[in-house]
């Protein structure tokens, strides 16, 4: 398969995103199976645009903060934070857990805002920028359950994450098992994941729709996550009611956000 220079530059960025201490030029080339001369060209291009820097002592290449800065600028321009943050802050304070908003982004979801409600003791917090694993998160399942079943399963199949990414011990391992999960989620009306995204963590999620209409498309999800030690079945049902209320609140203000963007 032939790759364009643009594709290779994106491959380099994704690789360096997993290497906070940086990588030597030879390591970048080896991991991406790119000749040394081409690797140097791609790194020099990215360095020239400010996305990559080379440490003068170690000679390793690492990402700069330009990419996250661009992401923050984009999120600010969308107005998502203006709508979401007050709702998330109130939700986190009310539940004492981590509240998050993920927005639909093509065939995936991206976490864009959060609020931590656990002031002390055992607490769960996410790693910013992590990929939303659709089949192993309450967030992913509640969105997938809103889609036609064949479409939802096709998205997961194209992503090819089942069995490829590290998940918790209770994550589904087949599309057949995921189909059952989505049907349960659809019937229940909210998403749930217990030690699926990662060990020791449970979460519930509710769908934010473009407007107050059960048939309206899901544009985002609100989720609440915390340690399984304090999130048994009864507690998850209580938190699901909170998530549904917060999602309904965001649904009410979402059209205003869209109108502001259009203006």
Give me the CATH number covering residue 47: 1.10.10.10
Task: Indicate whether 145 belongs to any domain.
Answer: yes
Asked if residue 241 and residue 201 are part of one domain, the reply reads yes
Which pTM does this prediction carry?
Answer: 0.76
Count Cβ atoms below 10 Å from residue 26 Cβ, excluding itself: 10
Asked if residue 28 and residue 78 are part of one domain, the reply reads no
What single DSSP character describes residue 211? S
Asked if residue 100 and residue 19 are part of one domain, the reply reads no
Query: b/e string for 6-19 if b means 16 or more Cβ within 10 A?
Result: eebbebbeebbeee
Given 40, 64, 88, which residue is the final one in a domain? 64
Q: How far is CA 81 from CA 88, 101, 115, 167, 262, in A?
A: 10, 9, 11, 28, 17
Q: Give me the residues paired with residue 226 across strands.
A: 202
Task: Indicate whether 100 belongs to any domain.
Answer: yes
Comparing CA positions, the residue from 247, 231, 143 lying closest to residue 186 is 143
Give me the CATH number covering residue 157: 3.30.450.40
Asked if residue 254 and residue 140 are part of one domain, the reply reads yes
- From first to last of the 263 residues of the chain, give the pLDDT tens digit: 556 888 989 999 989 988 889 999 999 999 999 999 999 999 999 999 999 999 988 999 999 888 877 776 776 666 677 778 899 999 999 999 999 999 998 899 988 889 998 776 565 666 555 668 999 999 999 999 999 999 999 999 998 888 778 889 999 999 999 999 999 999 999 999 999 999 999 999 999 999 888 889 999 999 999 999 999 999 999 999 999 999 999 998 886 555 555 55
Q: Residue 216: its pLDDT value, please? A: 92
Given 45, 64, 83, which residue is the final one in a domain? 64
Asked if residue 82 and residue 57 are part of one domain, the reply reads no
For residue 112, the enclosing domain spans 74-262
Asked if residue 130 and residue 108 are part of one domain, the reply reads yes
Asked if residue 103 and residue 155 are part of one domain, the reply reads yes
Asked if residue 164 and residue 56 are part of one domain, the reply reads no
Task: Indicate whether 33 belongs to any domain.
Answer: yes
Task: Indicate whether 171 belongs to any domain.
Answer: yes
Given 39, 64, 89, which residue is the final one in a domain? 64
Task: Indicate whether 91 belongs to any domain.
Answer: yes
Asked if residue 154 and residue 239 are part of one domain, the reply reads yes
Q: How far is CA 28 from CA 25, 47, 257, in A?
A: 5, 14, 42
Task: Indicate whether 183 belongs to any domain.
Answer: yes
Asked if residue 84 and residue 128 are part of one domain, the reply reads yes
Asked if residue 93 and residue 207 are part of one domain, the reply reads yes
Asked if residue 127 and residue 175 are part of one domain, the reply reads yes
Q: Residue 76: its pLDDT value, please? A: 67
* Total domains in the fold of the chain: 2
Task: Indicate whether 69 belongs to any domain.
Answer: no
């Amino acid at each position: 398969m032939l790759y364009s220079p643009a594709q290779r530059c994106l491959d380099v960025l994704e690789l360096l995103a997993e290497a906070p201490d940086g990588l030597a030029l030879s390591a970048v080339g080896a991991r991406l199976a790119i000749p040394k001369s081409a690797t140097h060209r791609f790194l020099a291009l990215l360095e020239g645009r400010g996305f990559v820097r080379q440490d003068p002592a170690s000679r390793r290449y690492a990402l700069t903060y330009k990419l996250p800065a661009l992401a923050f600028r984009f999120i600010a321009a969308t107005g998502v934070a203006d709508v979401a943050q007050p709702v998330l802050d109130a939700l986190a304070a009310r539940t004492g857990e981590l509240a998050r908003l993920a927005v639909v982004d093509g065939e995936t979801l991206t976490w864009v805002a959060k609020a931590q409600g656990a002031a002390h003791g055992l607490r769960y917090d996410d790693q910013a920028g992590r990929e939303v694993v659709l089949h192993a998160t309450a967030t992913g399942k509640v969105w997938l359950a809103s889609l036609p079943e064949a479409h939802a399963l096709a998205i997961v199949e194209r992503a090819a994450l089942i069995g490829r990414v590290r998940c918790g011990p209770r994550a589904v391992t087949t599309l057949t098992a995921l189909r059952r999960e989505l049907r349960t989620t659809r019937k229940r009306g909210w998403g749930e994941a217990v030690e699926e995204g990662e060990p020791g963590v449970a979460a519930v999620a509710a769908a934010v729709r473009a407007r107050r209409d059960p048939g309206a498309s899901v544009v985002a999800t609100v989720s609440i996550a915390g340690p399984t030690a304090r999130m048994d079945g009864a507690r998850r049902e209580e938190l699901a009611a909170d998530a549904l209320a917060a999602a309904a609140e965001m649904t009410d203000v979402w059209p205003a956000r869209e109108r502001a963007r259009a203006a």
